[in-house]
A and B are shown apart, each in its own frame.
Chain A
Amino acid sequence: MSIWTTFHKWGSPRWFYQFSGRLLPWLGAMATLLLVGGAVWGLALVPPDYKQGNSFRIIYVHVPASAVAMGAYMVMAFAGAIHLIWRMKLAAMVMKAIAPIGASLTFLALVTGAVWGKPTWGTWWVWDARITSVLILFFLYLGVIALHQAFENREAAAKACAVLVIVGAVNIPIIYWSVEWWYSLHQPASIRFVGESTIHPTMLRPLMATMSGMYLFFAWAMLLFTRAEILDRERNTRWVQDLVIGGDKSAESTNVL
């Protein structure tokens, strides 16, 4: 199969809908297993931290959420670039699907960080370089969502968002580095907490589990949102009408929406 056939296939919403329908239960099951398993492991079986006690256990939600939130922006930018360069509609749908998921994960990272900060640092919020960067990432996601909602024309919305997302992706390293510089200049490094390299293996293994679980959850949610968008966009086509009315039994069995 040549690369163009593959490309053409991936550009077909119908093929993607059926393909993702087969993938979805596996992703969902794996994500649930890893997230629940990792959470039980991390909350019940891992010994408490010698300094932070039990409060460190929020790491099993906080770190995966922040990592996936950052990765999600890059996936979104990649999808936006594919849409602009090759005019692939599916990429635009994936891009639109990622924005609310990424914003939610960023919000989760900020909230869990604040909850962790209160017992550990004695304050809900610190203007620390990493926290500030995540906050700015949250703003970037909100901007993309707001821009998408402002357009009535779907095509224009997708293209405009793709431009904004790419501009944001070019800016993210600059913003991150500026904030890092700002922090080191203006604030004494008074707060230290367990870095990733200094974490004990017994604590790290459940983290790896919830981290992979979060990535799988992201993939699962992204497919789900994309599938909803496909149905909405293609609602006038024959195959979607067949699917909804129930004429096509094989396709219906994959319809978990």
Chain B
Amino acid sequence: MTLFSLAWAVLRRDLLAAARRGSEWSNPLVFFIMVCALFPLGIGPQPQRLAELAPGILWVVALLASLLASDTVFRSDYDDATLEQMLLSHQALYPQVIAKTLAHWLLSGLPLSLLSPLLGVLLHLPTTGMVALMLSLALGSAVLSFIGAIGAALTVGLRKGGLLLSLIILPLYIPVLIFGSSAVKQAVEGAPFLPQLAMLGVFFLVSLALAPLAIGGALRISVDQ
């Protein structure tokens, strides 16, 4: 089995499973919408103030949605011992881990970025920022998926992993948040935002190369215990 067909098989399986059980990909989206709706209620409905805060709010809430979703990356596979079979099989772990993380991104990060302009309108984000918001969220959430998968792999064997996962993962999310929200702010001000996107691209490539090693090691620890 070539690496690509192996990765494709894992990816296809995860997407099919998610398609048959809708809540896995729809819950983070509903969370994203609900929390964004809380902000105008909390800080007041003035359009200028919301527009000023919108890049930061949208990015932080998208980050939290991705964080909550990352708990589910390996959870069901761990519960029904699919994960154990994955580790026992002779196939390389690296492409399988990449495929699982990619599937998670397709089900959480990508829908978030597609939905983000709608929430941008709700929070009065100037239209010049929309493209930057979508692109930075699409690219940044892929990095978040890789980092979140490390935390998920470390905590999947624990009964109450949810809050712990956020404690260990949130500090590592900070660089992505800085460059992601900065890209949107730059675009709103009419400045070029390509440098920020390029940095997110660098983070993506580094996490694509290194994170699967940490995820694989963490999965072995979690399954062995």
Interface residues of A (CB under 8 A from B): 84, 136, 139-140, 142-144, 146-147, 150-151, 153, 155-156, 159-160, 163-164, 166-168, 170-171, 174-175, 178-179, 181-182, 185
Contact = CB atoms under 8 A, between A and B. Distances in A.
Nearest to A146: B167
How many B residues are at the interface, by size bracket?
20 to 34
Contact of A178 (B174, B210, B221): B174
Given A174-B175, A182-B178, 7 more contacts: A147-B164, A150-B160, A151-B225, A160-B218, A163-B218, A166-B214, A179-B178
Q: Chain B interface secondary structure, helix, strand, loop or mixed?
A: helix
Interface of B: 150, 154-155, 157-158, 160-161, 164, 167-172, 174-175, 178-179, 182, 203, 210, 214, 217-218, 221-222, 224-225
Contacts of A159: 221
Contacts of A151: 158, 225
Contacts of B224: 156
B154 A143 contact: no
A175 B225 contact: no
B59 to A, nearest CB: 13
Nearest to B151: A164
A140 B171 CA distance: 6
Given A136-B171, A179-B174, A167 B150 contact: yes
A142 B166 CA distance: 12
B221 A160 contact: yes
A170 B197 CA distance: 21
